[in-house]
Amino acid sequence: MKLTLKIWRQDGPRARGELVTYVVEDISPDMSFLEMLDVLNEQLNAKGEEPIAFDSDCREGICGMCGLMISGEAHGPEKTTTCQLHMRSFRDGETVTIEPWRADAFPVIRDLVVNRSAFDRIIQAGGFISVNTGSAPKAEAVLVPKPNADRAFMAAECIGCGACVAACPNAAAMLFMGAKITHLGELPQGQPERAQRVKAMVAQHDAEGFGGCTNIGECSAACPKGIPLDVISQLNHDLRKAGAGRF
Amino acid sequence: MKLLMAVTGLIFVGFVALHAYGNLMVLGGADTFNTYAHHLRTFGQPMLPYEGFLWVLRVVLLVSLALHVYSALSLWGRANGARSTRYAVKKAAASSLASRTMRYGGIALFFFIVFHLLHLTTHTIHPQGTVATPYENVVGSFELWWVTLIYVVAVLALGFHLFHGVWSAAQTLGLTSTAAARARAKLLAHLVGGLIALAFLIPPLAILVRIVK
């Protein structure tokens, strides 16, 4: 396969960036998207040019490190992470535009790498439970009904990749936050801090400069883990109840 | 902020539903419609003064409009601030046309409301000529094709705005936390948007094709 790539190149956080065109030949349809970029980087290295910086870690679709805007779609045309996207999803001769996640709360560090520390600060604000360590309770000490456990697991699938923010026309992080609110809110261990959690996380979200949700639904469509819009409603529900002091 | 948006939006939904229902009175002929128009003004008498009920409504609607526009503008500003560098290429994967046109549709509706008030409430604009009764006013206006066209376009914009608005309000109020509730809210939004738009479309079109004279 042969592809024409238009890739965002930016030397540093403050540098001006631009789209640079590269042509890559001899791509196997079985390569992952990141392997294709590895091939391009080897060619750039051989020519003595600066390789393209992009994030990746596990390359198994579970860590949330990778994430590229591929021709206007977060993680590209398939419902998966960028590392698990394969070149067979593209046509031979296609032109593909690759950009970093665009959100002021996710500043570009270099080329396609963005700083997602804003997510960490949202989690630090309330996305946790407080327990005494040292004496782990028996797993069956607190029983959780199956439907609640299922929903908690569904929401806990979020890997914090940031595709929801990247895809959102408002650059809001409501799906990410909603997933954590739902995950902890479904479990008994999450109850004591439930009201405080939602208020603190939303306050941090707004302070980070994310936009406001207008329930458009692009986030859920872009999510590699298929987190549904329900979690945003759950967040709004918890926020309303917490605001009225009814927890 | 978004709660304000949702609640004021729902007040408008209630109002346009009543308004659309009232408009259908025109199908009943001159007497029915004029009685309805008169009754709106004497509604609540003697507890309320003449037009008292209308003024209560107007104040509620004006306050709601101010809050609705204020929250819309500040959300819009936040969205612009949250992505100052735009994508070179961006595809819409799941969003409906209605959801993507909320802001421009809202602005269009605002200008339409101004026009509508100048036209049929204050009669500052009167292409139909000066006439005595509300019925003649309405019928005289919609016999003009271009007046009907403006109204039809505005009502379609309203339908779209209502569709995404009702669904979005349900989501913002946190009433759609299961897949089934989400499907119900979408259905309700389609019904509200569709039925209200339909009810608003019937009178002008009926007048234009002279079913109602």
Per-residue pLDDT reduced to its tens digit, A180-209? 999 999 999 999 999 999 999 999 999 999
Do the domains at A3-109 and A117-243 have one common CATH topology? Answer: no
- The whole-number pLDDT of residue B118 equals 92
pLDDT tens, position by position, B67-123: 999 999 999 999 999 999 999 999 988 888 899 899 999 999 999 999 999 998 888
Name the helix (H) or strand (E) containing A121: helix A117-126
Predicted confidence band of residue B163 (pLDDT cuts 50, 70, 90): very high
Give the Cα separation of A181 and A135 in Å (integer): 26
Predicted confidence band of residue A135 (pLDDT cuts 50, 70, 90): confident
Using alpha carbons only, what angle is made at residue A115 by residues A205 and A176, rounded to the nearest 5 degrees?
Answer: 40
Domain A117-243 falls under CATH 1.25.40.10: no
- The whole-number pLDDT of residue B131 equals 80
In chain A, the percentage of residues whose pLDDT exceeds 90 is 93
- The whole-number pLDDT of residue A188 equals 94
Residues of B within 8 A of A212 (CB-CB) are 1-2, 75, 78-79
Indicate the CATH number for domain A3-109.
3.10.20.30
Predicted confidence band of residue B209 (pLDDT cuts 50, 70, 90): confident
Predicted confidence band of residue B127 (pLDDT cuts 50, 70, 90): confident
Write down the domain spans for chain A.
3-109, 117-243
Residue A27 has pLDDT above 80, yes or no: yes
- Per the listing, tokens 């939904």 go with B13
Whether A213 sits inside 8 A of B2 (CB atoms) is yes
- The whole-number pLDDT of residue B44 equals 82
A-contacting residues in B 95-154 (Cβ below 8 Å): 95-96, 99-100, 102
Those residues whose C-beta lies under 8 Å from the C-beta of residue B171, and which sit 6 or more positions away, are A215, A229, A232, A233, A236, B182, B185
Q: CA nearest A184: which of A234, A220, A143? A: A234
In chain B, the percentage of residues whose pLDDT exceeds 70 is 100
Write down the domain spans for chain B.
2-78+96-208
Whether A233 sits inside 8 A of B87 (CB atoms) is no
- The whole-number pLDDT of residue A89 equals 97
Residue A232 has pLDDT above 80, yes or no: yes
- The whole-number pLDDT of residue A174 equals 97
Q: Is B68 on the interface with A (CB under 8 A)?
A: no
Those residues whose C-beta lies under 8 Å from the C-beta of residue A92, and which sit 6 or more positions away, are A1, A2, A3
Q: How far is CA A87 from the centre of its chain?
A: 21
Q: CA nearest B30: which of B147, B141, B133, B144? A: B133
Residues of A within 8 A of B163 (CB-CB) are none
Its ipTM equals: 0.86
- Class at the top of the CATH hierarchy for domain B2-78+96-208: mainly alpha
Amino acid identity at B180: A
Whether B81 sits inside 8 A of A240 (CB atoms) is no
Q: Which of B1, B78, B87 sits opposite A72 (nearest CB)?
A: B87
Give the Cα separation of A173 and A163 in Å (integer): 9
Predicted confidence band of residue A246 (pLDDT cuts 50, 70, 90): confident
Give yes or no for a cis peptide into A228 (omega within 30° of 0). no
Give the Cα separation of A47 and A40 in Å (integer): 11
- The whole-number pLDDT of residue A141 equals 86
- The whole-number pLDDT of residue A197 equals 97
Q: CA nearest A205: which of A183, A233, A180? A: A180
Residue A86, SS3? strand
Within chain A, what is the greatest distance between any pair of CA atoms?
64
Those residues whose C-beta lies under 8 Å from the C-beta of residue B160, and which sit 6 or more positions away, are B97, B98, B101, B105, B193
Residue B213 has pLDDT above 80, yes or no: no
Give the Cα separation of A147 and A247 in Å (integer): 21
Chain B residue with the nearest C-alpha to that of A210: B82
> Choosing among A69, A154, A194, A216, which should be mutated to test the B contact, i.e. which has the most B CBs within 10 A?
A216
pLDDT tens, position by position, A206-230: 999 999 999 999 999 999 999 999 9
- Closest-CA distance, B136 to chain A, in angstroms, reads 42
* Entry pTM: 0.91
Token pair for A120: 């960490």
Those residues whose C-beta lies under 8 Å from the C-beta of residue A5, and which sit 6 or more positions away, are A21, A22, A23, A24, A40, A95, A96, A97, A98
Q: CA nearest B158: which of B150, B176, A9, B184? A: B150
Give the Cα separation of B108 and B22 in Å (integer): 23
Q: Which of B1, B82, B93 sits opposite A104 (nearest CB)?
A: B82
B-contacting residues in A 50-109 (Cβ below 8 Å): 69, 71-73, 97, 99, 102-105
pLDDT tens, position by position, A159-182: 999 999 999 999 999 999 999 999
